[in-house]
Structure 1
Amino acid sequence: MAMDHDFPRDVMAEILLRLPPSSRRRARLVCRLWRDVVNERTTEAQSRPKLLLWRADKAIAYVSSDLSSPSPTGSCTELWRYSEPGPPLYALQLVGTCNGLLCLCDNTKGVGGTITLLNPATGEELPVRPLPCAESFIIGTHRSIGWGYAYHPTTGQYKVVHVPSSHDRVCEFNAVHVLTLGEPTWREVPVDPGDVITRLAAGIVSVDGMTYWVRVTGGGAAKIMSFDLNDERVVSTTIPLPVRRDHYRLAEVHGRLGFIAGPNVWVLEEGQRWSHRYNFKQDIPRRHFV
């Protein structure tokens, strides 16, 4: 839908008001005119952004309105905490965040952990249907299950992605699994049998309709795997990693795929090339915030 400055603002405002708030926020990014109409005619201008933080060791979610504070945790208000008594340290892990919703994995329950979606603002929880074949990915104590949580900006669907993995051995898998929230069953998505997933230390990151992780072969070669949330297919990219280090992770950086190694941050630009975007004075800790 194309609109120029001659299009009546009243009509444009009526159209935008029929969109959900999340779509209106994205519509602000189209052009200056759209931004002005959203700001002037909708409730988005009256809502101030807040910072949502997750403390992993105690499973507590905080909220802060002071986005300019150099230490936002100093002005935070506790929003939600794990209520069951005596959880082991780091037993409740944050899989990811989308639009203020948290996807949590409780490693003390079920095979490979139990997934729950949480709205920390209201306290509402939505248990996710267990993966039917989870036990087949556990051999002794050497196997784990990697989880990803994603929102597709075009379809508006939320999806939980499961990637089989191993911490210390080479294992072959022929599928990943995906569950679209609101649907009754998990689906298998085939993977090239030659793609051997050994570990997910770099994490699983979802950016702009794609979910990424790093595949490391038995010989130590690494490359990025991507899962298209719309088409639901897995491809093995030829994107070389910007550095060769054992300790690195993927991240979202300004709406693009980022690669963090120590104090350095690279961003994947158009044409599948890495741009060295930041170099901090110290290593960047693994944090979750939205």
Structure 2
Amino acid sequence: MLNIDVKPYDDKFGVVNSCNGLLCLCCPFEGNPLVICNPVTGQFMRLPKATKTPNQLRNLEPVGFGFGFQPKTNEYMVIQIWNKFVKRGYHHVFERMILDINTLGTPSWRNVEVDPQVFYSRLKYPTCLNGVIHWIRFEGQTQNRSILCFCLESERLQSFPSPPHVFRNHHTVSRNERISMGESRGLLYICDTSSFHDVTMWVMKEYGIGESWTKVYNIDTSISALGRPDRRRCGLCWPLKHFEDGASLLLYHSCKCLIYFEPEKYGFKVFRIHGTDSEQVQIIPHTPSLVSLKDVVKGDNIEVLNIYSMCANVKLREENEVLSLSQLMVT
């Protein structure tokens, strides 16, 4: 049993998603994107502020966000999607959906036309693959699930083939919250943990072909806090990485731990996470890279900063202040 210490209350950002080694950081509450950074190089850039007035923002409800790469133009883009409401009498009535795009290096957001009849409650688990951002979408009062995608080249929202049986008969919010999506080794996956006792992973082996969705594994996750099989306990796991030899790394919310599952040799190995009172620990798959933000931005007026040089400058200022104070004391 190994321990991992975390300091969740020191975190100042949430994470929208990762793309090519870059992270899109957001406000931890509203979720709106604020910063793009490369945690390896320490480079970061602030996204332009929305041009909407405070009165306009009060009538907007966040739906979903995403960060992606358009390979044909070699551009990175950030997507914001909102529902706009208007006040009629004592009620706020849905008017239309707003989709804004910022291409890294441009100083402002631009609007993309969306069908005025389209309405989504929420879009979760943004995943960029093949120049397309995918989400799991929530529809209507029953919160039914399906996959929605936005092509960065055509700038169109459209439906995307879903794996069979995964979204079927999932009509309650509590069950649907346990279906997630991501990318593993260049393939789109859907993970279903709605049964509490196991985790099922589906992979789309041929991109865009609904019939190519294939069940990769079904793991029994009803384990105790010590990692021993326990049929009495309900598990709630999210996959983080699937290895070629069949092993998997999962986040186990119920016990606040990471699980390494290797069926042939080790079974379960459990890594406890200490230092957080919340079961909603956010962990995302991320492949580090040396991509320079100075190479991906298109504009000339965008400032790319570096957290390491900023820390060095702060340290130098502190040393100078200490030196000045010492000289003053001697005088």
The reply on whether 1:93 has 2:14 as its aligned counterpart is yes
More RCO (CA 8 Å, sep 6+): 2
The reply on whether 1:272 has 2:229 as its aligned counterpart is no
Give 1:29's aligned residue: none
Give 1:259's aligned residue: 190
Instruction: Quote how far apart the aligned CAs of 1:99 are.
Output: 2.6
Instruction: Quote how far apart the aligned CAs of 1:153 are.
Output: 2.8
Give 1:52's aligned residue: none
Kindly provide the amino acid, as one letter, of the partner of residue 190 in structure 1: E
Partner Cα separation in structure 2 for residue 120 and residue 268 of structure 1: 29
Partner Cα separation in structure 2 for residue 170 and residue 267 of structure 1: 39
CA contact (8 A) 2:19 2:128 kept: no
2:157 to 230, 234, 237: 234
The reply on whether 1:178 has 2:96 as its aligned counterpart is no
Task: Mark the CA change 1:269 to 1:181 in structure 2 (over 3 Å): closer, same or farther.
Answer: same
Instruction: Quote how far apart the aligned CAs of 1:275 are.
Output: 1.4
Give 2:138's aligned residue: 216
Task: Mark the CA change 1:216 to 1:145 in structure 2 (over 3 Å): closer, same or farther.
Answer: closer
Give 2:52's aligned residue: 133
Give 2:24's aligned residue: 103
* Other structure's SS at 1:149 match: strand
Partner Cα separation in structure 2 for residue 154 and residue 278 of structure 1: 34
CA displacement, residues 12-52 of structure 1 (integer Å, 9 cap, x when unaligned): xxxxxxxxxxxxxxxxxxxxxxxxxxxxxxxxxxxxxxxxx
CA displacement, residues 125-152 of structure 1 (integer Å, 9 cap, x when unaligned): 2001122238545459xx4353211122
- In our comparison, the structure showing a higher alpha carbon Rg is 2
Give 1:158's aligned residue: 76
Return the structure number with greater strand share. Answer: 2
The reply on whether 1:117 has 2:42 as its aligned counterpart is no
Which consecutive unaligned segments of at least 5 residues does structure 2 have?
Answer: 85-91, 194-198, 222-236, 239-250, 252-281, 288-331
Partner Cα separation in structure 2 for residue 196 and residue 170 of structure 1: 12
Normalised to the residue count of structure 1, the TM-score between the two structures is: 0.59
Partner Cα separation in structure 2 for residue 197 and residue 251 of structure 1: 20
Which consecutive unaligned segments of at least 5 residues does structure 1 have?
Answer: 1-54, 60-87
* Other structure's SS at 2:122 match: coil
Partner Cα separation in structure 2 for residue 94 and residue 126 of structure 1: 15
Instruction: Quote how far apart the aligned CAs of 1:180 are.
Output: 0.8
Kindly provide the amino acid, as one letter, of the partner of residue 96 in structure 1: N
CA contact (8 A) 1:190 1:234 kept: no
Task: Mark the CA change 1:123 to 1:240 in structure 2 (over 3 Å): closer, same or farther.
Answer: closer
Q: How many residues are treated as equivalent by the alignment?
A: 201
Kindly provide the amino acid, as one letter, of the partner of residue 187 in structure 2: R
CA contact (8 A) 2:76 2:103 kept: yes
CA contact (8 A) 1:267 1:276 kept: yes
Normalised to the residue count of structure 2, the TM-score between the two structures is: 0.52
Give 1:50's aligned residue: none
Over the aligned positions, Cα root-mean-square deviation in angstroms equals 3.3
2:112 to 174, 185, 189: 189
Instruction: Quote how far apart the aligned CAs of 1:170 are.
Output: 9.6
Partner Cα separation in structure 1 for residue 112 and residue 155 of structure 2: 7
Give 1:64's aligned residue: none
Partner Cα separation in structure 1 for residue 98 and residue 204 of structure 2: 26
Task: Mark the CA change 1:121 to 1:89 in structure 2 (over 3 Å): closer, same or farther.
Answer: closer
CA displacement, residues 47-99 of structure 1 (integer Å, 9 cap, x when unaligned): xxxxxxxx9x647xxxxxxxxxxxxxxxxxxxxxxxxxxxx465411122223
2:129 to 202, 207, 215: 207
Partner Cα separation in structure 1 for residue 71 and residue 64 of structure 2: 23
* Other structure's SS at 2:283 match: coil
Q: For structure 1, which segment, 228-237 or 274-283, has the greater mean C-alpha deviation from structure 2 after superposition? A: 274-283
Kindly provide the amino acid, as one letter, of the partner of residue 105 in structure 1: C
